[in-house]
Amino acid sequence: QAKQNGGDAHHFFVAEMNAHTTERLELEGRLRYALAHQKFTLDYQPQVDIRSGRIIGAEALIRWHDEQLGSIAPARFIPLAEETGLIMPIGEWVLHTACAQNKAWQDTGCAPISVAVNISPRQFRQANLLETITQALADTGLNPCFLELEITESTIMHQAEKSIITLEKLHKMGVRLSVDDFGTGYSSLSYLKRFPVHKLKIDQSFVRDINVDPDDAAIVTAVIAMARSLNVLTIAEGVETGGQLAFLDSLECGEYQGYYFAKPMSADKFFALLRNNQTELPEL
């Protein structure tokens, strides 16, 4: 009896494994197809200066709609792209497209903003990262000071000493560096001091309950104060309510990003917003 149960469990396990592997292989196949046939797009989410209410940047966020599988979230396919190495060509495409788009907006005469591009862990550690970025800037003619690279705190903290060397090289190129998902990656103050970064992006998990959870409020207060003393800018992620924004403003957080202002949107929609934004007078 026991043996038979074990046998069933084993069969069940193998079937599960096969289903999982098949699904994964299918996704990988579709991902390769998407790359070869240019099926990715970028959405842009405004980054806003809290005091003036003006758009000062845009985060580029990859989108993938597959004809067979439908829309697939980056949280599902970016990890697979990492595992398979497809992140290198995908990341190159994102960099190139975001830089070209930002240059095109500038060429219309709009006040220049920065475009923020997410750099995945494997991309950050790849040997030719600097060449890839130099190439994207050269191909598109975008000034490096209008490109911001978002690197997560945990990516930086994995082999922190090596990361600092890479960050310093990027810093010398003139691109901006921001630490994404800050607060989730366990970096010590002694490291933080040595990161040549411009901005900390306060993770949305701390912002969500900022008005009701005293612990989150205390963490965000401390992060903003610490950033100020280190001469680093702060941007809060995932701001969804006016209450959250008011609290962040009272802490003198510099910038915010979130559904309260706007969800990520197509380049065309973003451009309409950008033009409008610049003819309006600041609210404060």
Pick out residues in 65-124 that bind Mg ion (CB under 5 A): 118
180 binds ligand C2E (CB under 6 A): yes
Instruction: State yes or no: residue 95 binds ligand C2E (CB under 6 A).
Output: no
CA–CA gap between residue 187 and residue 22 (Å, rounded): 38
Q: Kindly tell me which of 49 and 240 has the beta carbon lying closer to ligand C2E.
A: 240
Using the rule CB under 6 A, is 73 a contact of ligand C2E? yes
Q: Is 55 in the site for ligand C2E (CB under 6 A)?
A: no
Residue 224 CA to residue 230 CA, distance in Å, equals: 10
Window of 139-147, 159-167, 219-227, 237-245 that interacts with ligand C2E by CB under 6 A: 237-245
**Cα dihedral 43, 48, 53, 56 sign:** negative
Kindly state the number of chain residues that form the binding site for Mg ion, as judged by CB under 5 A: 5
Nearest to 178 by CA among 199, 192, 207, 204: 199
- Beta strand 199-202 pairing with 176-182: parallel
**Which residue stretches of 178-266 are H helix?**
189-192, 204-207, 214-229, 242-250
The answer to whether 270 and 46 have CB atoms below 8 angstroms apart is yes
Determine if 264 is a binding residue for ligand C2E (CB under 6 A): yes
Identify each DSSP E strand in the chain by its residue range.
40-49, 55-66, 70-72, 114-118, 147-152, 176-182, 199-202, 233-236, 255-256
φ, ψ at 143 (rounded to 5°): -65, 130
Pick from 209, 259, 272, 275 the residue near ligand C2E by CB under 6 A: 259
At which residue do the structure tokens 């963490």 appear?
219
Contact between 153 and Mg ion by CB under 5 A: the answer reads no
Q: Which does 154 bind (CB under 5 to 8 A by kind): ligand C2E, Mg ion, none?
A: none
Contact call for residue 255 and Mg ion (CB under 5 A): no
Q: Which of 94, 113, 147, 251 binds ligand C2E (CB under 6 A)?
A: 94
Q: Which of residues 134-163 bind ligand C2E (CB under 6 A)?
A: 150
The residues of the shown chain that bind ligand C2E, judged by CB under 6 A, are 45, 61-62, 73-75, 78, 91, 94, 118, 120, 150, 180-181, 204, 237-240, 257-259, 264
The residues of the shown chain that bind Mg ion, judged by CB under 5 A, are 118, 150, 180-181, 237
